């Protein structure tokens, strides 16, 4: 969590904002924001989203320990994995259809006997 706090502090400093500026934007006290930057406070998902939006980042970019180029690589990898997952889902649907067809055929054959 301390790494995330350091990243938030760096982002704040890059914008030229004071802790007071960011605390006001996040609607928290200055000491509360200071605890976020020092890693004393664990941030929930809602607060992380709020901070990411404040700095015009995605949540993944905010919590990533790497540079934005690496985040783009993760995004591409996730996209590829999602496509593969969709293909596997399609295969499962086709196999289920085959099973149903086979079951129906067995039922028809049993009725003939």
Whether 55 and 110 map to the same domain: the answer is no
Residues 86 and 107 in one domain: yes
pLDDT mean over 77-89 = 86
How many domains does the structure of the chain reveal? 2
Q: Domain check: are 98 and 109 in the same one?
A: yes
Q: Name which of 94, 90, 108, 9 is nearest 55 in CA terms.
A: 9
Q: Say if residue 56 is in the same domain as residue 1.
A: yes
Query: Residue 8 belongs to what domain range?
Result: 1-65
- From 65, 85, 103, give the residue that closes a domain: 65
pLDDT in tens, 15-53: 999 999 999 999 999 999 999 999 898 899 999 999 999
Residues 54 and 73 in one domain: no
Residue 33, exposed/middle/buried by CB under 10 A (0-12, 13-18, 19+)? buried
């Amino acid at each position: 969590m301390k790494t995330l706090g350091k990243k938030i502090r760096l982002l704040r400093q890059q914008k030229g904002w004071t802790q007071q500026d960011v605390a006001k934007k996040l609607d928290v006290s200055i000491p509360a924001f200071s605890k976020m930057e020092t890693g004393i406070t664990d941030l929930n998902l809602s607060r992380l989203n709020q901070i990411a939006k404040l700095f015009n980042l995605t949540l993944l970019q905010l919590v990533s320990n790497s540079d934005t180029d690496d985040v783009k690589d993760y995004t591409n990898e996730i996209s590829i994995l999602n496509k593969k997952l969709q293909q596997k889902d399609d295969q499962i649907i086709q196999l289920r259809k085959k099973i149903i067809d086979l079951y129906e055929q067995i039922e028809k054959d049993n009725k003939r006997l």
